[in-house]
Amino acid sequence: MSYRIVRGVIVTAFAVFACAASHGASAADPQLERGKYLVAIGGCSDCHTPGTFLGHADEKKFLGGSDVGFSIPGHGVFTGPNLTPDMETGLGKWTAKEIVTAFTMGVRPDGRVLAPIMPWREFSHLTPSDALAIAAYLKSIPPVANVVPGPFGPSEKPTVFVMTVLPADVYAGLPQPEAPPAK
């Protein structure tokens, strides 16, 4: 093999390796990886990805908003909103601080209080760096244009499949399934 061919192969290999290494560095941003991890263990996709509650999550619309509403007696029906950075139907116009305030304090930028089903009280215990990691991750995922129906007031007819959330005192009065026999 000639010196020119060997040199060309080495230069090409180095260029490919350098491009791959630089792409890998940006893909492995520690804050985004932490946010992705926290979104996964926090179960965010359960309530914010269409199809999840119906047994067929639509990964093309990951975190793009649910197609199932939660009925809370006396409050109405609430559907998990679009958490992607879509500018019209998601969090695209929200700042990271506004996102953090919503999921840790239960208040949207417009002052509206989140539905009681949103577990913001649990998320209020996150460290500031973890909360910002979640916001950064949500701002980094692909935007999904998806208008989520609702919320529906107590007297409105919902246009989505509805699950009813019962308060603990009501649930406690219902017959409970028997535990499986011990082995």
Q: Which two tokens stand for residue 76?
A: 């109405």
Number of domains comprising the chain = 1
Give the pLDDT confidence of 78-124 residue by residue, as tens digits: 999 999 999 999 999 999 999 999 999 999 999 999 988 899 999 99
Q: Is residue 4 part of a domain?
A: no
pTM of the model: 0.75
Alpha carbon distance 27, 25 (integer Å): 5
Separation CA 91–CA 89 (nearest Å): 7
The CA dihedral of 58, 150, 54, 165, to the nearest 10 degrees, is 140
List, for residues 120-136, the tens digit of each pLDDT value.
Answer: 999 999 999 999 999 99
In a domain, 181, yes or no: no
Residue count (the chain): 183
| 59: in domain | yes
Q: Are 65 and 82 in contact (CB under 8 A)?
A: yes
Residue 20: pLDDT band with limits 50, 70, 90: very low
Instruction: Write out the residue range of the structural domain in which residue 154 sits.
Output: 28-167
Is 16 inside a domain boundary? Answer: no
Distance CA 71, CA 153 (A): 10
pLDDT for residue 179: 65
Note whether residue 39 is domain-resident. Answer: yes
Q: Specify the CATH number for the domain of residue 72.
A: 1.10.760
Q: What is the side-by-side order of every strand in the sheet holding 161-164?
A: 76-79, 68-72, 161-164
- 7 lies in some domain: no
In a domain, 56, yes or no: yes
Q: Is residue 47 part of a domain?
A: yes
Q: Round the average pLDDT of the chain to a whole number and report it.
A: 83
* CA-angle at 51, arms to 48 and 53, nearest 5°: 80
